[in-house]
Amino acid sequence: MTQMLTIARMGHQGDGIAETSNGLVFVPGALPGERVSAEVKDGRAERFDLIEASPDRRPIHSETYAECGVAPLQHWADAPYLAWKREVVIQTLAREGLETEVEATVAVPPASRRRLALHARSGPNGRVLLGFKARRSWRLVELTDCPVSDPRLTAALPALARVAAPFLGHPKSAPTLHVTLTDTGLDVDVTGVEKKSGGLTADMTARAIAAAAEADLARLSLDGDVLMMARQPRVTFGGVSTPLPPGGFLQAAPAAEAAMVERAVEAARGAKKVADLFCGAGTFTFPLAEIAAVTAADSAAASIAALKTGVGTVKGLKPIEAQARDLFRRPMSPYDLKGCEAIVLDPPRAGALEQTQQLPGTKAGVIVGVSCNPQTFARDAHVLVDAGFRLEKVTPIDQFLWSTHVELVGIFRR
């Protein structure tokens, strides 16, 4: 049914929301204040004609992103877009009864993302397509331009398609290339390759290695197993050059990482000993070690090994003790965290409820929560607030440009 709609506000999933006598209607791609004519079914309009545009509407940056939904808000002006992300954080906290200062959203510049997950599929005439899945579909949208990514990633797309070709040899394979731009070149870890019926043949493996060498990749791996390494992929944390394990976690945008690290270090300043939980290969560990001794822990043994390698190459930092430990099944107890006056934790999207529940029993006066999921952050924050901590402030960070995703750093003090 065709309806004339006025968009009242933006929903948390990036859809324009119109209020009607029959309830809310969600209109993807519409902006607050716009009037549209839309075909509505079950409270949703997938297509609409724009009758009156918002003054905040801007030309899109990428046709590919418009189709695939990776950056569904690229047509929104910067100021209202960033203000909306801040409001999402405020509302998410409010639903959990949490009130605090929420700073302006930290913006990340275009052409700066250093990680991409590219789906590979066979196209017409044997051509390999690399790209993202279309919005609400399994169809692949070929990536030809990428305004959010470092230009060196975009320039490598043709070579990466040649690397992907051998992994498409099995009809059940649906490979994804996890591409990371490191200090020493491109690191590619491939997942989604059929293994139950034999996996890659020796010929396919040889072809993949040859294509990787021709593309001058630093490393090529399959589900974390190294197939070829011309140079050790390395990243720099706090001035320390650290090896990156295959498939290892790395913040997607250097500017976002810098904003997170700056706030964590400033909050921990004055502590003699700091804990860095869910530490990865040392994103926060090394900068924190410039001001205090650090106890670091993460479940990924390869990341801890990389961190220890980095420790062995640098002088002048405070002592770093690192251990591989499942912080969900075996969270660090107050005894394990004895002497830690500040704690930094950067868990995955599921949050860190089990670990957070241990923190009130420590002597830490400040806790820094870094999160890629405001919902689980708010849930875990309740544990600390109920135990007498004050959520001093929260900073939203727009790591994934023009997406609905928002990250944050929260500072708690006793």
Q: Active-site residues: which are they?
A: 372
The CA-based angle 285-287-290, given to 5 degrees, is 105
Is 385 in a helix, a strand, or coil? helix
Q: Are 86 and 102 in contact (CB under 8 A)?
A: yes
- Which residue in 191, 188, 170, 169 sits closest to 179, CA to CA? 188
**C-alpha distances in Å from residue 171, one per residue of 4, 160, 192, 219:** 46, 20, 12, 25
Helix/strand/coil percent split, the chain, to 5: 25, 30, 45
Is 151 in a helix, a strand, or coil? helix
**C-alpha distances in Å from residue 382, one per residue of 99, 356, 357:** 11, 10, 10
Rounded Cα distance between 220 and 191, Å, is 11
Q: Are 292 and 272 in contact (CB under 8 A)?
A: yes
In the sheet where 219-222 sits, what is the strand order? 140-142, 128-133, 115-122, 176-182, 185-191, 219-222, 225-229
- Determine which helix (DSSP H) or strand (DSSP E) holds 229, and give its type and residue range: strand 225-229
Both tokens of 218, joined, read: 């630093």
Q: Are 337 and 364 in contact (CB under 8 A)?
A: yes
Is 78 in a helix, a strand, or coil? helix
The CA-based angle 350-355-360, given to 5 degrees, is 130
- The answer to whether 389 is a known ligand-binding residue is no
- The answer to whether 183 is a known ligand-binding residue is no
Is 387 in a helix, a strand, or coil? coil
- The answer to whether 91 is a known ligand-binding residue is no
Q: Please give the single-letter amino acid code of residue 301.
A: A
- The answer to whether 276 is a known ligand-binding residue is no
Q: Among all chains, which residue has been given the structure tokens 């090896």?
A: 243
Residue stretches of the annotated binding site: 251, 278, 298, 346
Residue stretches of the annotated binding site for S-adenosyl-L-methionine: 251, 278, 298, 346
